[in-house]
Structure 1
Amino acid sequence: MTNQRAARGGPWSGLGLILLTGVLLVALAWVVADGRESARIATARDLALQGVRLRDVDDLAARLVGAAAVELHADAGTRAALTGTLLAGRQGNLPGASDVRDLALSADGRIALSADAHERVVRWELAPQGLPGRGLLVTASSTLQDRLDASAVALTADGRTGLIGGRDGSVRVWEMGGHSRSRTVVAGDGVRPVSAVALSRDGGRAVAGFDGGGVVFWDAAGGQLRRPSEVHASAVLSAGLSADGRRALTVSEDKAVVWDLADPARPVQAGVLTRPGVPWGAGALSADGRTAVTGNQVWDVGDPARLRRLATLPGVRSLMIGVAFTSDGSGAVTGEDGGRVVWWGLRDRLRPVLLAELPGSPGPVGAVALSADGGVAMSAAAGWGVMSWQVGGISDDPLRDVCADSALRALRVTPETWAKIAGGVGWPDGLGDPGPHNPCPAL
């Protein structure tokens, strides 16, 4: 028997060797393919970073290099970098604004309200510049009142009515028509500063939160003012109302509470969001009352009896200071204590998409605002002022967005020009043979 096995060459001869060789070749092919893919990803990310560096030097080159990065490897990082490059030319600021504590924006993005540490509340009138890729123009501004030590502001959808919370604990309603006038809704006690306010779309209902944890609801139609039993043991960080004023969200350092305001005379604590294991930070409620964002968590609050955590916002780096939704809840902007302002896609609430970091924020964010259609975003930077961005027309396909520019579509890049703008990255194999190339041929 032993001699017969020897004669057949043992277990690794013949078919066995053929099979082993095939397995090794397949494994080698996988290793080679994996290496090429890793190199492709690394090159794409290098190009994305180079596109970011070029933003302030050569906008067209920045978009071209960023588009090549997405063409080479489209992932969350390269897309967000390209979107940020597109938005870099759409930013502006509110001249003269400084040390802004809070801000609000009308539904159409044409009226803004800011409260600063210099005891000023300012109403701003804004307009697009009329040119693509430009920031907003401030066409007029007016100080509602000097020596008004405000800490929180809100606006109705039409921008005609504002709600202003003071550090003395007072809450005032301002009518900003031909002749601005105000009335006090909540008298301040000089002890508990107002820390957050919110208005329904038409201004008929409002909510205010206080540093001491208290919450006050107000109904304009019935003139009703309600102070529910203390539910927050710490300062209310943010407050939100649905567009119809029938649902509210208040967020403090210890909990986030969903309120049922169907009967404005009897605010009902409908549910409490469980702590996600990270600091709550700020929170917001979508206009339809279905979606909430608290900390870095996305929640379904459409049925208060079945509050569900849906997803985690990917890549949040520091405490969330501000959150604002589009009217349909499909988009949001957030501001972080570390200075990042992020534009999110929430069409699929189970899979939030980081569309872009809005470029240019100069410091820790104190508040954010967003127009109802998502066309205008704003952030207030602590110790600085207010930055604005025209984000309308930005989608989850930044290559298509960028390539909508006819100047970029007409451009062809040679190896010589590539060497000048690519920051030392050689011509990538994934872009085909070196020669006249454009990342937008099919768009």
Structure 2
Amino acid sequence: MRKPDADEELPSTTKVSYGRWRRLGPMLVAGVVLLALLIGIGVPISLRAHTVSEARAIALDGIKQRGSDWYAADLLGYVAVLSHSDSYTRSALAETLTEERRGFLPGTATVIDVAMSSDGRLALVSDAQEGSGLWGLERNPEADRENLTGSRSTILDRGYGPVALSSDGRIAVIGDETSGDIKMWDLSEDDNPRRTVVRTGNYTGRLLDISLSADGMTLFAGFESGSVEIWSLGAGQKPRLLTRVREHTSGVSVVSASADGRKLLTISEDSAIVWSLNGPLHPALSSRVKSAEQRPAVSGWGGGVMSADGRRAIIGRTVWDVTDPARPTRVGSLPSPAEGGAPLAVAGDGSIVATVENEPGGVSSLDPVVIWGLKDPSHPILLATLRVPESQSRQLAMNEGGTVIAVGTRVGGAYSWLLPKLRANFIRDACVASQPLRPPPGFWERISEIQPPDVLNEEPFNICSRL
């Protein structure tokens, strides 16, 4: 069709048609472009949905491999996350990794307390049914799991109560929670533990908690009466009571000392006290934090711990810098409030803490242990969630590096976890700690019906770098 000249007279019908074209033409062009865009967008959307479906199917294949082939379970989990990272694939992989790293301490049943050496190779467990004894925690080189195998080396005492272990595992202290008796064992000779009675009698009430300096030479004990005792356990000498103080008006449920024994955190229901112990004969009350001032809606607290370096204290759910014990500074708090008195454990430098959490809408007896990163205490990072299969967690212990956790339960015994060096991403940290190998030809086809992903053929083969 010839385009008319600008000054040419058009027939009336042509004028109408051409006018409509000028008005509708851009709209039609826009419609065509929009339709093309929708068609173009529709294809990636359908492909993406297909990828999500495949990723979740791979994650499910990984779940099925748990307990029978941990290498396959890990590989499938990593590939699922790389194919499509969402809450389903990441939680499936995280649960696989934590379950793989869980070990059991056979011969434990109803755990009252647990302590651990700084290297995480020795655990002291107090059990209401089995008594109090030592368990070695070691890797099994013949197993394909990334966990520790617990083996009981000896039962030290048929009684039970709060326990403490020196940093090197050579001094063990066991208290009787009912009578207040405290006994000490020198474990320097593996086949000949030497027992010494530290104190007898319940003249200050029920024993609630104990703590040791790293060298095992100073013992701290908290009692139901509100009193705190400090004992000297000098090598080759008879234990000696250095002092007894009473600044709490209710039972001292937490006694946590720094490694050098120069700072002490004590917690009762109504308050937390930071002590300076430059002279253990005359401990100085450096500062007091009252629970009512921090949580007005709660009548008290019971949980807490001090880091071995003496710089950080966790009181209830709040994180404090206690470098200067006379001027503690609140530097953060843990989210997801737990019940009062919930157990805590902390790494030596205070950068990692383990807590028992209340899981909303869940069964209280299955509340998990949560590992938090506190490098920036004002913004805690949830690093890992650990679950025990039987019952509610009761007590926690952590080695100095934050890589070994021991958890005592009410009816399921004691468990351990071998964790990677945690930074900010548990899945990647676990991958780096045990880099998966490339599967042999035909292996993928035996564990999954999904087409093998391209990542398995990449050079160099390094799944971890992409997480």
What is the TM-score with the length of structure 2 in the denominator? Answer: 0.72
The sequence identity of aligned pairs, in percent, is 34
User: 1:251 maps to which residue?
Assistant: 267
Q: Say yes or no: does 1:155 pair with 2:177.
A: no
User: 1:135 maps to which residue?
Assistant: 147
- Residue 76 of structure 1 deviates from its aligned partner by 8.5
Q: Do the aligned residues in 2 keep the contact of 1:110 with 1:126 (CA within 8 Å)?
A: yes
Aligned-partner Cα distance in 2 for 1:309–1:210: 29
Query: Superposition pairs for residues 84-163 of structure 1, below 5 Å?
Result: 84-118=95-129, 120-131=131-142, 133-146=145-158, 148=159, 150-163=160-173
Q: Which amino acid aligns with 1:399?
A: R
Residue 431 of structure 2 aligns to a residue in which SS? helix
Aligned-partner Cα distance in 1 for 2:414–2:184: 23
Per-residue CA shift, 1:344-378, capped at 9, x if unaligned? Answer: 22222222222212244421111111122223211
- Residue 307 of structure 1 deviates from its aligned partner by 2.4
Cα pair distance change 1:176/1:350, threshold 3 Å: same
- The equivalent position to 2:193 in structure 1, one of 160, 180, 185, is 180
Q: Say yes or no: does 1:323 pair with 2:340.
A: no
User: 1:200 maps to which residue?
Assistant: 213
Range moving further from structure 2, 318-327 or 217-226 = 217-226
Gaps of at least 5 residues in structure 2 are: 1-43, 358-364
User: 2:15 maps to which residue?
Assistant: none
Q: Which amino acid aligns with 1:310?
A: G
Aligned-partner Cα distance in 1 for 2:247–2:356: 28
- The equivalent position to 1:282 in structure 2, one of 299, 303, 308, is 303
Q: Which amino acid aligns with 1:202?
A: D
Query: Superposition pairs for residues 44-443 of structure 1, below 5 Å?
Result: 55-56=66-67, 59-68=70-79, 70-71=81-82, 82-118=93-129, 120-131=131-142, 133-146=145-158, 148=159, 150-167=160-177, 168-178=179-189, 179-189=192-202, 192-220=205-233, 223-233=240-250, 235-264=251-280, 265-272=282-289, 274-275=294-295, 280-304=301-325, 305-313=327-335, 315=336, 321-336=342-357, 338-393=366-421, 395=423, 396-399=425-428, 401-402=430-431, 407=436, 409-410=438-439, 420=449, 440-441=462-463, 443=465
Q: Do the aligned residues in 2 keep the contact of 1:282 with 1:320 (CA within 8 Å)?
A: yes
Aligned-partner Cα distance in 2 for 1:127–1:324: 21
Q: How many residues are matched? A: 422
Residue 82 of structure 2 aligns to a residue in which SS? helix
Q: Do the aligned residues in 2 keep the contact of 1:340 with 1:361 (CA within 8 Å)?
A: no
Q: Do the aligned residues in 2 keep the contact of 1:412 with 1:437 (CA within 8 Å)?
A: no
- Residue 120 of structure 1 deviates from its aligned partner by 1.6
Higher relative contact order (CA 8 A, sep 6+): 1
Cα pair distance change 1:252/1:404, threshold 3 Å: closer
Aligned-partner Cα distance in 1 for 2:348–2:240: 27
Range moving further from structure 2, 273-282 or 340-349 = 273-282
Aligned-partner Cα distance in 2 for 1:57–1:157: 36
Range moving further from structure 2, 387-396 or 60-69 = 60-69
Q: Do the aligned residues in 2 keep the contact of 1:171 with 1:188 (CA within 8 Å)?
A: no
Cα pair distance change 1:72/1:215, threshold 3 Å: farther
Cα pair distance change 1:214/1:413, threshold 3 Å: farther
Aligned-partner Cα distance in 2 for 1:247–1:133: 39
Q: Which amino acid aligns with 1:380?
A: G
Residue 71 of structure 1 aligns to a residue in which SS? helix
Cα pair distance change 1:159/1:416, threshold 3 Å: closer
Residue 301 of structure 2 aligns to a residue in which SS? coil
Aligned-partner Cα distance in 2 for 1:344–1:85: 19
- Residue 44 of structure 1 deviates from its aligned partner by 7.9
Gaps of at least 5 residues in structure 1 are: 1-32, 421-425
Aligned-partner Cα distance in 2 for 1:251–1:366: 18
Aligned-partner Cα distance in 1 for 2:339–2:430: 29
- Residue 268 of structure 1 deviates from its aligned partner by 1.6
